[in-house]
Amino acid sequence: MITLRARQAPGLVITHATELPSPPAPTAQAEAPPLKDCMDQFWTSPPGQLLPPLSIVAATVDAIPVKELGTPRFWTGDQQFLPLMERIYANISKAALDIIRGE
């Protein structure tokens, strides 16, 4: 193995370690409370923490997974698969955005 490495990386100095380095000592961590004791706070942020800005917009291209994967071999529908999926994805996106906006 050493000979192979020497051929693959000329100039590489290979030494034999007689002792492996010790792993780092574990750091002390506070014990987490049982989940059942903090369920009412599970989905909340700590006091004073600001939420990151969030922007929800429609996809610029509909049906990306379908376009990546192509028409499945099992498709036997009367309509072309990709245009149909583009319409379905666009309708799903619109419905989701309407729900988010409260419409």
- In this prediction the pTM is 0.49
Q: Where are the domains of the chain?
A: 56-103
Q: What is the pLDDT of residue 91?
A: 94
Query: What digits encode the pLDDT tens for the residues 33-74?
Result: 888 888 888 888 778 888 788 888 888 888 999 999 999 999
Specify the higher pLDDT residue, 9 or 37.
37
Closest Cα partner for 59 from 17, 12, 98, 97?
97
Tokens 């922007």 sit on residue: 55
